[in-house]
């Protein structure tokens, strides 16, 4: 059974989330704060973490940062009462995979948990299929049937990231940090150049298109 650690200091909400997870076939592992969550993670396998940001002793940002520094790659869903871009940016820089804003819709929580687990499976297998296309991460090659095309490294990583999260908007800064590195001095507009090259390469592909979201960034949208 898939284990989901719920780090939430509000006991009533923690119990509610645990009950809903259990009803949907998951094994909830409750923790009252970040410190307890770390202790539990050291003792047992956890497939996904749901972490509130505002917790005593150790908040969600610090918990996420500590997990990533220790090499834990399980998906992390942050829960917050704050929905500003600055707060979300801080969370993504710490290593979270997704966000939910309180008040929690438990139905949406289950959908997000399922989506994160599917993405984690994609990443562990290092192959991504979409329609007739298969992206092989290890060979940075895109296959259509038996025919493979090796892409320039940065182009491949950019495409792989966007297609792994259909309809999710990524800012230029997020893409730069992940693909070029947080310390890169490369102009963020380099992302635009690589996006345009990908659009040209895959202009006849029926599986997806890369959409510009004005003022925000880019997202991949499944066609059809």
The CA–CA distances, whole Å, from 209 to 51, 116, 201, 204, 223 equal: 33, 22, 11, 10, 7
State both tokens at 65. Answer: 């940062």
Q: What is the mean pLDDT of residues 155-174?
A: 90
The CA–CA distances, whole Å, from 107 to 77, 138, 178 equal: 14, 36, 30
Mean pLDDT, the chain, integer: 89
Instruction: Look at residue 112 and tell me whether its pLDDT is greater than 70.
Output: yes
Instruction: Look at residue 191 and tell me whether its pLDDT is greater than 90.
Output: yes
Q: What is the pLDDT of residue 122?
A: 62
**Residue 113, Cβ neighbours under 10 Å: how many?**
24
Distance CA 95, CA 92 (A): 5
Q: What is the mean pLDDT of residues 30-59?
A: 92
Q: What is the mean pLDDT of residues 65-82?
A: 89
- pTM, full prediction: 0.58
Q: What is the pLDDT of residue 139?
A: 92
**Residue 181, Cβ neighbours under 10 Å: how many?**
10
To the nearest whole percent, how much of the chain has pLDDT over 90?
A: 58
All domains of the chain in start order, with CATH:
3-123 (3.40.50.2300), 153-222 (1.10.10.10)
Across 38-77, b (16+ Cβ under 10 Å) vs e yields bebbeeeebbbbbbbbebeebbbbbbbbbbeeeeeebbbb
Instruction: Look at residue 83 and tell me whether its pLDDT is greater than 80.
Output: no
Instruction: Look at residue 72 and tell me whether its pLDDT is greater than 90.
Output: no
Distance CA 57, CA 38 (A): 12
Q: Which of 80, 74, 16 is nearest to 40 (CA)?
A: 74
* Residue 103: cis peptide before it, omega within 30 degrees of 0: yes
């Amino acid at each position: 059974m898939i284990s989901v650690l719920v780090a939430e200091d509000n006991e009533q909400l923690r119990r509610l989330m645990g009950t809903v997870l259990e009803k949907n076939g998951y094994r909830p592992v409750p923790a009252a704060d970040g410190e307890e969550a770390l202790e539990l993670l050291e003792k047992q396998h956890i497939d996904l973490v749901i972490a509130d940001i505002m917790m005593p002793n150790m908040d969600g940002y610090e918990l996420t940062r500590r997990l990533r520094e220790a090499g834990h790659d399980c998906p992390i869903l942050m829960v917050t009462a704050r929905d500003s871009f600055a707060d979300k940016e801080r969370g993504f820089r710490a290593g979270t995979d997704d966000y939910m804003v309180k008040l929690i819709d438990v139905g949406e929580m289950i959908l997000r948990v399922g989506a994160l687990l599917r993405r984690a499976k994609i990443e562990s297998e290092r192959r991504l299929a979409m329609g007739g296309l298969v992206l092989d991460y290890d060979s940075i090659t895109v296959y259509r049937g038996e025919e493979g095309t090796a892409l320039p490294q940065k182009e491949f990583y950019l495409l792989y990231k966007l297609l792994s999260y259909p309809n999710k908007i990524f800012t230029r800064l997020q893409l730069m940090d992940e693909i070029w590195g947080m310390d890169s001095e490369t102009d963020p507009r380099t992302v635009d150049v690589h996006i345009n090259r990908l659009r040209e390469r895959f202009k006849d592909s029926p599986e997806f298109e890369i959409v510009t979201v004005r003022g925000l960034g880019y997202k991949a949208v499944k066609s059809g």
